[in-house]
Chain A
Amino acid sequence: MLEFEVRGLDFAAVGEASGTIKRTLQQVGMDASLVRRVAVCAFEVETNIVIHAHRGVVRARISPRQVVVEGEDEGPGIPDLEAAMREGFSTAPAYIREMGFGAGMGFSNMRRCADHMEVSTQVGKGTRVRLVIEASGS
């Protein structure tokens, strides 16, 4: 299992977790389409923590049949999960949007790339995301 600590607003570190996960999958010879779907999921999980949370972890559990990507953070939680799932909905501040983040595409990208997605959140505590990407679905 790979595990990475992610700090809120640490934009310099965006890509460390997802990049390492991607390279690991390439090294073990995973199919290119699976690698891309996992990379998208890991990038969006990682980015959400950096934009919205105080701190968190990103994990990847790799097996020949599937990859599980998890994000668990301490942060504000998501008050309206239904809205957050809608493409285009974002609570990211303007300066973060100007960097090209916070387009409200995170959860929809995860949903599109993962075969299974679970999100649990508690306002004032944090958010947990679990994504399963199946090798056979590629």
Chain B
Amino acid sequence: MNLKTVIERLGLEVLTGADHLGREVTGGYVSDLLSDVMANAVAGQLWLTIQTHQNVVAVASLANLAGVVITSGKKPDAETLQRAEGEGVVIMRSPYPTFRVAGELWGLLGGAS
């Protein structure tokens, strides 16, 4: 399923990278620890986190993730958004907590990794 469809179905707000929504979403990864994401997230997954600082962009880019969903309505720092636009990283936001977003994503992708 491509990112655009996931965004529509989960009601996500797109904050950066609007030109890159054709990316395929292969699954999701939930973590607020950067090293854990580097170690265990798989390329193409959507990363759900409450972290809002600019290093989120570096990790998403290094790990080739489909995008980052910042949950609980948290607002990313200005540097985060600027850097994400520059690196072509799609940052999205949901007003809901990670548990709910992950549950909806799981339902949508049929329990893919």
Residues of A within 8 A of B (CB): 11-12, 14-15, 18-19, 22, 32, 36, 39-40, 43-44, 47, 99-101, 103, 105-106, 109, 112
Contact = CB atoms under 8 A, between A and B. Distances in A.
Interface stretch (B4-12, B33-41, B101-109): B33-41
Interface of B: 32-36, 38-39, 43, 49, 51, 53-55, 57-59, 61-64, 79, 87
Contacts of A99: 34, 51, 53, 55
A11 B57 CA distance: 12
Contacts, number: 64
Contacts of B33: 100, 103, 105
Contacts of B36: 103, 105
Contacts of B79: 12
12 contacts: A11-B54, A11-B55, A15-B57, A15-B58, A15-B59, A22-B62, A32-B43, A99-B53, A100-B51, A101-B35, A103-B36, A112-B39
Contacts of A11: 53-55
Nearest to B39: A109
A22 to B, nearest CB: 6
A84 B35 CA distance: 15
B61 A14 contact: no
Nearest to B60: A15
Contacts of B51: 99-100
A100 to B, nearest CB: 5
B70 to A, nearest CB: 12
B16 to A, nearest CB: 16
Name, among B35, B43, B53, the residue most crowded by chain A CB atoms within 10 Å (CB to CB): B35
Contacts of B58: 14-15, 18-19, 43
